[in-house]
């Protein structure tokens, strides 16, 4: 059965002390965290080692990115092999900011997904359309292509380790959230597309997270949609109280 998941993407925010403050702040709500919700935090990679304390909260850690290479002369990069050696279980791959600002192509993302899986790191694979693509009625086509080009090359056993995050680009960091109906419609489409590429069992077992201005106010309704299995949360994951509320609302 698929898992309920709430993942926090801290992006390039917080000094180490501030990051630890958020983590400590979350501990105050620890007793209220639902046992059926997996919590994942993706801090700046520099802090991954410092935030091992999160494991006492039953939180897993994720990197926000990785190289498609395992080792070598690639200045500034970190690899999935290194993440695995540090027991980091997850890595966000293909966040729209990586696609947009760092020119990450579908082909590159496919190689990053492969790098994660060969190193036993579970990719949180992000997809989502731009505003103009939705306005032109191309959002389903865009998302289907991102799935096909990024992860549909995987054999079934590896595909089962992928978490999909649908993040409409127009909703990320804008305060504009997809309506519950828009989120559910796209998540159902994603699940159907996976079912066609693989089979119904695989599609039913994959967690599909919604991302894009999720807040303590809108999370419960979004997460109640039948095909929404939780969220990938940016801004609101930087505030312990809000993030804890979002986690609790995913039960």
Among 49, 53, 173, 176, binds ligand PEP (CB under 6 A): 173
Under rule CB under 6 A, which residues in 119-148 are in contact with ligand PEP? none
Among 39, 154, 172, 194, binds ligand PEP (CB under 6 A): 172
Count of other CB atoms within 10 angstroms of residue 1: 6
N-to-C CA span, the chain: 15
Size of the site for ligand PEP (CB under 6 A): 13
Catalytic pick among 104, 133, 167, 184: 167
Q: Identify whether 95 is a catalytic site residue.
A: yes
DSSP 72: S
CB 137 within 8 A of CB 97: no
- Binding segment (CB under 6 A) for ligand PEP, from list 74-82, 197-205, 216-224, 227-235: 227-235
State the number of CA atoms in the 13 A half-sphere of 22 facing the CB: 25
Q: Is residue 40 a contact partner of residue 165, using CB atoms and an 8 Å limit?
A: no
Query: Which SS3 state, helix, strand or coil, does residue 173 take?
Result: coil
Q: Is the dihedral of CA 148, 90, 167, 14 positive or negative?
A: negative
CB of 146 to ligand PEP, least distance (A): 15
Q: Sketch the per residue contact string, 179 through 218, with ligand PEP: x for CB under 6 A, - otherwise.
A: --------------------------------xxxx----
Please state, in angstroms and rounded to a whole number, the distance separating the CA atoms of residues 167 and 180: 13
Smallest distance from the beta carbon of 210 to ligand PEP, in angstroms? 9
Rule CB under 6 A: is residue 117 a binding residue for ligand PEP? no
Strand partners, 40: 7, 60
CA–CA separation, 56 and 150 (whole Å): 33
In terms of CB distance, is 211 or 230 closer to ligand PEP?
211
43: contact with ligand PEP by CB under 6 A: no
Q: How far apart are CA 45 and CA 210, in angstroms?
A: 23
C-beta separation of 111 from 142 below 8 A: no
Out of 94, 168, 230, 235, the only residue in the binding site for ligand PEP (CB under 6 A) is 235
- The residue among 129 and 167 lying less far from ligand PEP, judged by its C-beta, is 167
Nearer to ligand PEP, 23 or 126 (CB): 126
Give yes or no for residue 234 binding ligand PEP (CB under 6 A).
yes
Binding site for ligand PEP (CB under 6 A): 9, 167, 172-173, 211-214, 232-236
Which residues form the catalytic set?
95, 167
């Amino acid at each position: 059965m698929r898992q309920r998941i709430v993942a926090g993407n801290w992006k390039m925010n917080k000094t180490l002390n501030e990051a630890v403050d958020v983590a400590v702040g979350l501990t105050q709500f620890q007793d209220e965290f639902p046992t059926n919700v997996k919590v994942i935090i993706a801090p700046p990679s520099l802090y991954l080692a410092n935030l091992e304390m999160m494991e006492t909260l039953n939180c897993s850690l994720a990197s926000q990115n990785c190289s498609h290479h395992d080792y070598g002369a690639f200045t500034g990069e970190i690899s999935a092999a290194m993440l695995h050696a540090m027991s980091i279980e997850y890595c966000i791959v293909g966040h729209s900011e990586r696609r947009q600002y760092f020119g990450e192509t579908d082909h590159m993302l496919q190689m990053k997904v492969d790098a994660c899986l060969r190193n036993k790191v579970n990719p949180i694979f992000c997809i989502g359309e731009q505003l103009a693509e939705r306005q032109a009625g191309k959002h389903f086509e865009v998302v289907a292509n991102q799935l096909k080009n990024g992860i549909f090359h995987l054999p079934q056993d590896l595909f089962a380790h992928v978490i999909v995050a649908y993040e409409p680009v127009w909703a990320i960091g804008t305060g504009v959230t997809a309506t519950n109906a828009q989120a559910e419609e796209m998540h159902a489409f994603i699940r159907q597309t996976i079912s066609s590429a693989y089979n119904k069992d695989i599609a039913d077992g994959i967690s599909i997270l919604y991302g894009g201005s999720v807040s303590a106010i809108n999370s419960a309704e979004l997460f109640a949609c039948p095909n929404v299995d939780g969220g990938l949360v940016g801004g609101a994951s930087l505030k312990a109280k809000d993030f804890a509320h979002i986690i609790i609302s995913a039960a």
